[in-house]
Amino acid sequence: QSALTQPRSVSGSPGQSVTISCTGTSSDVGGYNYVSWYQQHPGKAPKLMIYDVSKRPSGVPDRFSGSKSGNTASLTISGLQAEDEADYYCCSYAGSPLFGGGTKLTVL
Amino acid sequence: QVQLQESGPGLVKPSQTLSLTCTVSGGSISSGSYYWSWIRQPAGKGLEWIGRIYTSGSTNYNPSLKSRVTISVDTSKNQFSLKLSSVTAADTAVYYCARGGGRPFDPWGQGTLVTVSS
């Protein structure tokens, strides 16, 4: 299995919206509604932000939303804040879990 | 709430076996229908799922590591463990334990750095 494809970096200004894509195949992203997204600040453990494509765990701001179309899942962060600057990883369940390569979000 | 904590040697010699333990607190490892997983992250790189165990003892491993990985559970100690044999420098990474089998992973331990070096 190859890693899911994410852009290496994205950026946005405070208050703007950004979208991070996660592209797989019909055998993983396209075949299951089990896409999750994780936020990781430097030196910290990943934190679950979205699961089952679009569900938010308790405590995650509603500025974070997830969606999927075909073989591509997306994480959208609206109303960007400085603390959103982090690495973001997608994960799809394809019989076994498969991560994306990660995207560095820079808040300008 | 459930918390996880990794422990084990931070330095392992090449060709030896890496052994880590994850201690679960705030809840029983046997309660609920959960898998428990190991995930690793080399410095500056992405996340790689290593494998998972169900409380029944059933396991699944990443095919790329399957020949070298063993995950076990000790419900009496509320712990699960990872053994990775024949390690090389490429196995140097931060190792995380997490609840879940990928649908999703939550929560995660804080991670522990394991360096493979002579």
Interface of A with B in 11-30 (CB under 8 A): none
Query: Tens digits of per-residue pLDDT, A27-36?
Result: 999 999 999 9
Q: Which helix (H) or strand (E) holds A19?
A: strand A18-23
For residue B37, the surrounding DSSP H or E stretch is strand B35-41
Tell me the H-state helices in chain B. none
pLDDT digits (tens, 9 = 90+) for A77-106: 999 999 999 999 999 988 889 999 999 999
- Give B107's contacts in chain A (Cβ within 8 Å): 48
Inter-residue contact A88 to A64 (CB < 8 Å)? no
Chain A within 8 Å of B47 (Cβ-Cβ)? yes
| Count of CB atoms situated within 10 Å of the CB of A26 | 10
User: What radius of gyration, in Å, describes the C-alpha atoms of chain A?
Assistant: 13
Lowest mean pLDDT among A41-55, A62-76, A88-102: A88-102
pLDDT(A2) > 80: no
- The SS3 of residue B109 is coil
**Per-residue pLDDT, A3:** 86
As a whole number of angstroms, the distance between CA A38 and CA B118 comes to: 34
Kind of pairing, strands B93-99 and A47-50? unpaired
Chains A, B: CB contacts within 8 A come to 61
